[in-house]
Amino acid sequence: MSSRPAPMLEQAAKGTAAFEAAVHRLTDPGITRPSSLPGWSRAHLVAHVARNADALVNLLTWARTGVETPMYTSGDQRAREIEQGARRPATELRADLLAADSRLAAELTALPDECWAATVRTARGREVPASQVAWMRVREVWVHAVDLNIDTSFDDVPHEVCAALLDDVTAAFRARQDCPPVELRTQDADRTWPLGAPGSAEPVVVSGDLPSLAAYATGRPVPGPLYPTGGASLPKLPAWL
pLDDT (average), residues 105-129: 97
Distances (CA, A) of 222 to 73, 173, 230: 35, 19, 20
* Mean pLDDT taken over the chain: 95
CB 186 within 8 A of CB 193: no
H or E stretch including 119? strand 119-121
Closest CA to 54 of 107, 13, 95: 107
Crossing angle of helices 132-147 and 42-65, in 10° steps, is 180
HSE, CB side, 13 Å, CA atoms: give it for residue 17. 8
Render pLDDT for 129-162 as a digit per residue (tens, 0 to 9). 999 999 999 999 999 999 999 999 999 999 999 9
Tell me the Ramachandran region of residue 219: left when phi exceeds 0, alpha when psi lies from -120 to 50, beta otherwise: left
DSSP 114: G
CA angle 228, 170, 182 (to 5 degrees): 25
Position 189 scores a pLDDT of 76
3-class SS at 14? helix
Distances (CA, A) of 114 to 25, 131, 210, 216, 227: 39, 10, 34, 37, 45
DSSP state letters, 52-96: HHHHHHHHHHHHHH-S---S-S-HHHHHHHHHHHHTS-HHHHHHH
Confidence band, pLDDT 50/70/90 cuts, at residue 232: confident
Render pLDDT for 22-72 as a digit per residue (tens, 0 to 9). 999 999 999 999 999 999 999 999 999 999 999 999 999 999 999 999 999
Maximum CA pair distance of the chain? 55
H or E stretch including 121? strand 119-121
What class is the 6-152 domain?
Answer: mainly alpha
Question: For a pLDDT cut of 70, what percent of the chain falls above it?
Answer: 99
Confidence band, pLDDT 50/70/90 cuts, at residue 188: confident
Position 1 scores a pLDDT of 55
Kindly tell me the sign of the dihedral angle through the C-alpha atoms of 9, 10, 15, 16: positive
Q: Decide if pLDDT at 79 tops 70.
A: yes
H or E stretch including 182? strand 182-186
Q: What is the pTM of this model?
A: 0.94
Position 200 scores a pLDDT of 67
CA distance linking residue 228 with residue 140, whole number of Å:
28
Which residues belong to CATH 3.30.1050.20 in the chain?
A: 159-231
The dotted CATH code for 159-231 is 3.30.1050.20
Which residues belong to CATH 1.20.120.450 in the chain?
A: 6-152
Render pLDDT for 163-180 as a digit per residue (tens, 0 to 9). 999 999 999 998 788 999
Confidence band, pLDDT 50/70/90 cuts, at residue 231: confident
HSE, CB side, 13 Å, CA atoms: give it for residue 66. 1
Confidence band, pLDDT 50/70/90 cuts, at residue 184: very high
Confidence band, pLDDT 50/70/90 cuts, at residue 204: very high
